[in-house]
DNA sequence: CACGACCCCTGGATGC
DNA sequence: TGCATCCAGGGGTCGT
């Protein structure tokens, strides 16, 4: 059979619409389901999303099991999670953004999870204690759970059409709040560039970990 | 292996 | 009012 894999990128949306309704701007795909029924529209303003078809189960498995994508952020195995953090000397922020370590955490949720964990984004991954790794693991789940409840973080700028913006953008405690007071200690949130992305953090709540020099760097 | 640089793309903010 | 310019980020590619 055929398999369809859709990546929403940043601004991708899937919407069910009556076939009588004309497609909104930036609609790139329309799936005609049963004749006379609703249609499934794929919109993507920024076009960072993608849709690809796999012609067989083997292709599909190669795609997903190629190590390209790590485990889901929900239900991470605490031991494996701790071990994967131990393996890298990179900044923890870079590790969180690495889809091979954990899939589905982007810049916003990485910053929010680190803020909640009180971990500085530039801390070396391998310097985190087991306790911190566990705190972070739980923070990721908490942040994502709350964000999903709030229907995500889709920024109003990118909604358009008949889409809905995400309510979580009103709950940001670090992301996009550079210069604004930390809502725990009122210290202005700082912004630094890390792994090619803006990283927002509270310089008081999130201390850089001293770093034990050996930090047993390891290969795969 | 890890990093930066560059590219894709659109719309909002900013400056003139 | 209307330009030009910069910026945001998920992810691929390429060079160091």
- Classify each residue of A63-102 as buried b or exposed e, where b means 16 or more C-beta atoms within 10 Å of its C-beta: eeeeeeebbebeebeeeebbebbbbbebbbbbbbbbeebb
CA A112 / C1′ C4 distance in Å: 34
Q: Using the CA of A158, which nucleotide's C1' is the nearest one?
A: B11
Question: Is the Cβ–Cβ distance between A155 and A10 less than 8 Å?
Answer: no
* Mean of per-residue pLDDT scores for chain A: 87
pLDDT digits (tens, 9 = 90+) for A160-178: 554 566 788 888 999 999 9
Give the pLDDT confidence of A91-133 residue by residue, as tens digits.
999 999 999 999 989 999 999 999 999 999 999 999 999 999 9
Q: Which nucleotides of B are covered by protein (CB under 7 A)?
A: 1-6, 8-12
Residues 71-130 of A with CB under 7 A from strand B: 88-91, 94
CA/C1' separation A196–C5 (Å):
21
d(CA A16, CA A37) in angstroms, rounded, equals 10
Distance, CA of A94 to CA of A151 (rounded, Å): 25
């Amino acid at each position: 059979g055929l398999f369809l894999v859709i990546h929403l990128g940043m601004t991708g949306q899937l919407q069910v619409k009556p076939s009588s309704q004309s497609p909104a701007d930036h609609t790139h795909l329309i799936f005609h389901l049963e004749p006379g029924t609703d249609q499934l529209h794929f919109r993507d303003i920024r076009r960072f999303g993608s849709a690809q078809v796999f012609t067989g189960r083997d292709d599909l498995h190669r795609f997903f099991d190629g190590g390209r994508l790590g485990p889901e952020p929900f239900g991470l195995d605490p031991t494996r999670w701790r071990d994967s953090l131990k393996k890298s000397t990179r900044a923890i922020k870079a590790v969180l953004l690495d889809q091979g370590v954990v899939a589905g955490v982007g810049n916003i949720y990485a910053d929010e999870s680190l803020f909640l964990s009180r971990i500085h984004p530039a801390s070396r991954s391998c310097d985190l204690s087991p306790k911190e790794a566990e705190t972070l693991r739980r923070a990721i789940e908490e942040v994502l759970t709350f964000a999903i409840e709030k229907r995500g973080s889709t920024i109003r700028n990118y909604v358009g059409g008949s889409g809905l913006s995400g309510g979580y953008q009103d709950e940001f405690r670090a992301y996009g709040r550079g210069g604004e007071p930390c809502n725990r200690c009122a210290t202005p949130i700082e912004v630094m560039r890390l792994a090619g992305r803006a990283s927002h953090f509270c310089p008081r709540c999130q201390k850089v970990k001293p770093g034990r020099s050996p930090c047993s760097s390891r290969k795969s």
